Amino acid sequence: MDADTPVRTATATGQFARALLEAPGAGHSDAGTPRAALPCASHPDAPFFAAVLAKSLAWGDLGRTGLAGGALRELLAAVFPHVLQSDDPTAGLMLEQVARQGTGAPPRDEHRAFVAQTGALLDAYAAPHGTTPWVSRILIHACLRTDHLWRDLGLAGREDVTALLRRHYPGLPERNVHNLRWKKFLAYAARERAGLPPQAAPGCAGCEEEAQCYPVATAQPAAPVDVIRTR
């Protein structure tokens, strides 16, 4: 990666985010719909999805969302419908990447158990929002990578993850009574629900703060019995 890559990527991320969040026209869509009536102008999940999609698009890898091409198009239609009809070049680049995404790749063998266990945990707490299944897929796949969850998702900080979990999985964040990092908490809670001993998320290995989260240098540390409050 050359020295200018982070700058170019940050610039591209901003361009994609603006294209997702800013409806066309100065207050009205091309069809004359008031901007406030457009889903992207009022949808409570628009900022989250814009952050995730913009960062993935900037890196040219929508696969990091965990969503296949069909799901991505459904997401755009539900939250950012103007993108599907836009002739803006940035929107065109988005749709090209969506078209290339195809059916998506299955999780690697060593990640299958984590994906299934965490999916079961999130399903157990899922709110009845139509967007929640997409949020679940995005969260699970972000936990497979080494960066902090909020930063990997393109959010401003941990509090954004907290708000996301409260909206889509009511009751689950309240179980984090010891204020664990969210990636660690989700991994531990998923294992607990499956009746298994605690184990770190796949993405925790290699994280810059792994030693702080898991100070024991040998096997994965056992969680105190009260780390996670049972439902």
Global model pTM greater than 0.85? no
Q: How confident is the model at residue 216 (pLDDT cuts 50, 70, 90)?
A: low
Q: Which two tokens mark 157?
A: 């900080």
- Structure confidence at residue 210 (pLDDT): 63
Q: CB neighbours of 12 closer than 8 A, spacing ≥ 6?
A: 57, 58
In this predicted structure, the answer to whether residue 222 has a pLDDT above a threshold of 70 is: no
Which of 4-18, 114-128, 190-204 holds the top average pLDDT? 114-128
Q: How confident is the model at residue 19 (pLDDT cuts 50, 70, 90)?
A: confident
- Structure confidence at residue 212 (pLDDT): 73
pLDDT tens for residues 54-113? 999 888 889 889 999 999 999 999 999 988 888 888 888 889 989 888 766 667 777 899
In this predicted structure, the answer to whether residue 217 has a pLDDT above a threshold of 50 is: no
> 211 or 184: which carries more pLDDT confidence?
184
Name residue, tokens 């749709």. 95
- The b/e string for 173-198 (b: 16+ C-beta within 10 A; e otherwise) is bebbeeebbbbbbbbbbbbbbeeeeb
In this predicted structure, the answer to whether residue 139 has a pLDDT above a threshold of 90 is: yes
Measured CA angle at 133 (ends 50, 171), to 5 deg:
100
- Structure confidence at residue 170 (pLDDT): 98
CB 190 within 8 A of CB 121: yes
In this predicted structure, the answer to whether residue 164 has a pLDDT above a threshold of 60 is: yes
For all residues of the chain together, what is the average pLDDT? Answer: 81
Domain boundaries, the chain: 8-23+39-105, 107-204
What average pLDDT does this structure show over 3-15? Answer: 64
Measured CA angle at 80 (ends 94, 24), to 5 deg:
90
Kindly report the number of other CB atoms within 10 A of residue 102's CB atom: 11
- Structure confidence at residue 201 (pLDDT): 87
What average pLDDT does this structure show over 177-200? Answer: 94
What average pLDDT does this structure show over 5-29? Answer: 65
- Structure confidence at residue 211 (pLDDT): 65
